Chain A
């Protein structure tokens, strides 16, 4: 061993270790800087004002409820699209499709996942919104519905890839057992494979929700950006505004350090915490089911 090697053996593992820890550092940094810029909101704006049903920053109405309701409405709509299509496609790819079809569909799903959201928003403005306006006879096509449809398309790749992994992970013996008992392929899918992959599918749906609630450009471009409290069922046919779109649309125009600026960061904290909860509980589901599987197999 020469000294150069010694040096490498000492230095490089430490460097690699530091890279490994960096993920924790970044999450902490992100949270810290959101808090640093956003937390003063709670001092400058009374809690009651944040629960105001109006978001109209120019007149100091900082009610974030309309934005939260907009995000929830669009996300629920997106999941109504993404769940059947995502899970259905995952089952098709993993259980039914012949190999060559799978080899075509999987890269295509990846491509859909890689399409820039700004491009889908652009097509939403030019193609989808005018179509919805004429088809449903609405005053404008830029509605929660348009946002939900496009967000659904954005969430589908997330749902498909995770649900498909979960289905793939179901041991082949489970299926063979069901077939040996005379079950058809369809019965096996419904009563054996899907129930066995239940927790993975649930994770897929949760991460899809996380993806939808955090999506920014598409919703900003197609939902019409009207900050009204969406409580009625037919709100889906009217314009709404989400938390993400509000930050993206307004942050460029506020003075750094102003109350408005602080409230936008505060909304960022809310989004950060939502994504934290969604992701931690999604990984808790995976972790628990892994433990159960180990118990069964041992």
Chain B
């Protein structure tokens, strides 16, 4: 009996070590990738790199149009996806009955989340660029990205709304508040940090995507900044793709510098989201 019990504790120790090893092997590459890009990219970063235009066939100069383009695309995505996503989340959490139609909506959201990004690109090309005749433009790309971002925003915002205790709503209604007043004055403010976290995580994805903008709004090279939503634009992820596969004899330093700027975008958004969430959790009293 004793031998058996020692044996299974050895098994447990082996098992735990194995899982620790697996987890370490999962995380070491993540940390390594980040440090490696910072290390290799930092020497390229200068004011001229951030604020200048590319020249010599993109083998020299800065990446300003790509940075500005990514900011435009992210903001454009936010304009469409944030109101729509929060609206849909409010519907699912506050209004929707548990019926077939609601289940269908949930199934649609799950499917939107699973559609390959390049298929979004095809859809954007078919609907926005060709059918609605927006052309290859910031508008078409932003609309495409916002539909792709929608499921992330809806599901995190819904979770945040649902985590507001039912009692809050009951009290507000019993004081004579209408349903919309209750949602606007009580539920939304309480759920706001969770919603913002979801919005940022969704936009983070949009900022890093390449495939959906390939045929809807991305430009290989532009000598000036875009003037209107109907202009095509350069974008950081697409620019990184271009300079790492399409331009021969590209200086490695510029490639790593571009990757670092893109990484900075993503990490800042990610840390902001994580920070807002953890602060809200710490402050929560219910």
Residues of A within 8 A of B (CB): 5, 8-9, 12-13, 15-24, 26-27, 29-30, 33-34, 36-37, 84-86, 88-89, 91-93, 96-97, 105, 107-108, 110-112, 114-123, 125-127, 153, 156, 160, 184-187, 189-190, 207, 210-211, 213-217, 221, 244, 247-248, 251-252, 256, 264-265, 268, 271-272, 275-276, 278-280, 282-283
Contacts and interface: CB of A to CB of B under 8 A. Distances in A.
Interface of A is mostly: helix
A207 B114 contact: yes
A251 B245 contact: no
B192 to A, nearest CB: 17
Contacts of B201: 110, 114
Contacts of A265: 122, 126
B23 A92 contact: yes
7 contacts: A13-B95, A17-B95, A125-B245, A126-B244, A247-B121, A276-B111, A282-B110
Contacts of B244: 121-122, 125-126, 221
A122 B154 contact: no
Contacts of A17: 91, 95
Interface of B is mostly: helix
Interface residues of B, number: 91
B16 to A, nearest CB: 6
Contacts of B209: 116
A27 B118 contact: no
Given A116-B208, A217-B241, A123 B33 contact: yes
Interface of B: 8-9, 11-12, 15-16, 18-20, 22-23, 25-27, 29-31, 33-34, 36-37, 83-88, 90-92, 94-96, 104-123, 125-127, 130-131, 147, 150-151, 154, 178-180, 201, 204-205, 207-211, 214-215, 237-238, 240-241, 244-245, 252, 255, 259, 262-263, 266-267, 269-270, 274
Nearest to A182: B5
Given A37-B122, A84-B22, A110-B270, A122 B116 contact: no
Nearest to B19: A92
A105 B28 CA distance: 11
Given A23-B150, A252-B215, A214 B15 contact: no
Contacts of A12: 180
Given A114-B204, A251-B215, A23 B266 contact: no
Contact of B110 (A153, A217, A283): A283
Contacts of B151: 23
A34 B244 CA distance: 30
A27 B237 contact: no
Given A26-B147, A265-B126, A268-B122, A221 B245 contact: yes
Contact of A280 (B107, B208, B214, B266): B107
Given A29-B123, A185-B16, A268-B122, 12 more contacts: A5-B178, A9-B178, A20-B91, A22-B150, A33-B122, A36-B126, A96-B20, A118-B240, A118-B241, A187-B8, A248-B214, A265-B122
